[in-house]
Amino acid sequence: MKLNELTIKQARALLLKKEITSVELTEACLGRIKEVDDKVKACLTVCEEIAMSEAKKADERIANGETGELLGIPYIAKDNILTKGIRTTAASKILDNYIAPFDATIIKKLKKAGAVLLAKANMDEFAHGASTENSAYGLTHNPWDFDRVPGGSSGGSAAAVAADMCLFSLGTDTGGSVRCPASFCGVTGMKPTYGRSSRFGLMAMTSSTDVPGPITKTVEDSAIVLGVMAGNDKNDASTPDEKVPDYNKDLSKNIKGLKIGVPEIFFGEGLNKDVKEIVNIAIKKYKDLGVEFISIKLPHAKYGIPVYYIITPSEISSNLARFDGIRYGFSEKESKNLLEVYTKSRGKGFGAEAKRRIMLGTYVLSAGYYDAYYLKAQKVRTKIKEELDNELEKLDAILIPTQPTTAFKIGEQSDDPLKMYLEDIYQAPASLSGLPAISIPCGFAKDLPVGMQLIGKRFDEEKIFNIANVYQENTDFHLQKPKI
């Protein structure tokens, strides 16, 4: 097996036995990026020199007897996560020349743990999208079929893991942006509970639902990475002081007798027939393992998209106000006055989808419309959240398909924003409620990966890790590799 194809767990065992070095592992990943990324286009910036020097440092730490779980492990981070001294664009022209002056908290934690940053991954501009087609630097191709999208918005991060350019990657999930690409690319994507890991140093999109999460080859690896990322941060007041459990401890616990809810609404109209069949086979597998399935009703879940597409653009219009051509980023030199600096820099710097969302958010928050849109959406959000919380009180988890289809063709729906927004329909409820949700591969439809999603109770990532891991112990879908 090639070193870049290893899981974190496998690589760590070899590193500690001194059979391989982090330098070798890092070289193998950088080599793979060189070999395939002109076709996949997952990376926006590759930081070869920094990576090699970090790998050398990790090898020294290992030689000194350190045994950290991510020590010497190469990874890729989505480009909306600040990485000190490294170009960080959020795939937007407005940040074309931006070098992050400090590290996001999660990057700091990974650095301290000795993980090796290889590259920054492509994404939909400012994470607005479900296909990575909204990147200002060109699209990313799905490693399973180059004519198809990798999903989004963390499309580069998921494609990079699927193509073995790294051992794991970081994404951010606001309304499905880790889970959707994980599903389309056949890898494991974890959206933790809102507040579980710090948003400090993430470029804010929807501050009330943004959360960073790991994209990995296995559930075991996901548990390792989240264990390092998670925890209270004084620079992010929305991270509660909850203890971070040892996520590795109960991964293989017997799941016999657990209760999983299946919401009828997500298995009806709009769900692709093949995807439905494959997810139903996965349910059957769980039943064989002793899990009890209970049909549940979520009458307000269908309002997830309209609520999400009021709250999200509202928060975006506010969060993206900071890009004004004054302190950093693109600034239009040909401006007569201050107002023109703002309007021209923003008009030229932002891409179409960012502008569309800023416009929508500005409208729904504008005088006379606030109550009808924003306040109404926040009230329906309460209904969606309460409904899920009530059901989860009686259950261990909820299982639904991650996406209603497999990866769609490039360009197929990029002209129709509303259709693209509907891609988030299976993602919005967990995001709006701040619940943890993991997407794992559960089969293939016409040679394209299908993912299923397990949604858990707030701050109970342990349980969904356990349920997802036992599935991977009994199946091999997560081990399949695309032929590139």
Rounded least distance, CB 267 to other proteins, Å: 21
Contact between 144 and 405 (Cβ < 8 Å): no
Q: Which of 383, 391, 405, 412 binds other proteins (CB under 8 A)?
A: 383
Q: Is the distance from CB of 181 to CB of 132 less than 8 angstroms?
A: yes
Which residue out of 153, 314, 331, 431 is catalytically annotated?
153
User: What secondary structure, in 3-state letters, does 391-409 show?
Assistant: HHHCCCEEEEECCCCCCCE
Q: Which of residues 185-214 bind other proteins (CB under 8 A)?
A: 194-195, 208
331 annotated active-site: no
Site string for other proteins, 148-187 (x = CB under 8 A): ----------------------------------------
Q: Is the N-terminal amide bond of 169 cis, ω within 30° of 0?
A: no
Taking CB under 8 A as the criterion, which residues in 93-122 touch other proteins? 97-99, 101-102
| Residue choice 70, 279, 377, 464 for contact with other proteins (CB under 8 A) | 377
Q: Which is nearer to other proteins, 62 or 305 (CB)?
A: 305
Residue 153 annotated in active site:
yes
User: Residue 125, interface with other proteins (CB under 8 A)?
Assistant: no
Q: CB of 221: closest distance to other proteins in angstroms?
A: 27
C-beta separation of 224 from 70 below 8 A: yes
Query: Is there binding between residue 290 and other proteins (CB under 8 A)?
Result: no
Q: Which stretch binds other proteins (CB under 8 A): 52-60, 236-244, 249-257, 437-445?
A: 236-244
Long-range pairs of 17-22 with CB within 8 A, sequence gap ≥ 24: 18/62, 21/55, 21/59, 21/62, 21/72, 22/55, 22/56, 22/58, 22/59, 22/62, 22/71, 22/72, 22/73, 22/74, 22/114, 22/116
Q: Which is nearer to other proteins, 75 or 421 (CB)?
A: 421
For 247, 406, 457, 462, the CA distances from 253, given in Å and listed in that order, are 12, 31, 18, 10
Q: Between residues 325 and 441, which has the closer beta carbon with respect to other proteins? A: 325
Q: According to CB under 8 A, which residues from 254 to 283 bind other proteins? A: none
Kindly state the tokens that stand for 159: 């494609």
- Restricted to residues 65-84, the positions that interact with other proteins (CB under 8 A) are 84
Instruction: Give whole-number Cα distances, 263 to 125, 131, 145, in Å.
Output: 32, 26, 31
Cβ proximity to other proteins, 28 vs 360, nearer residue: 360
CA distances to 61, 194, 202, 414, 418 from 421, in Å: 46, 21, 22, 10, 5
Q: Is 329 in the site for other proteins (CB under 8 A)?
A: yes
**What tokens were used for 219?**
């559930």
State the nearest-atom distance from the C-beta of 195 to other proteins, in Å: 5
Q: How many Cβ atoms from other residues are within 10 Å of residue 69's Cβ?
A: 18
Catalytic residue of the set 78, 108, 120, 385: 78
Q: Which of 63, 237, 281, 294 binds other proteins (CB under 8 A)?
A: 237
- What residues are annotated to the active site? 78, 153, 177
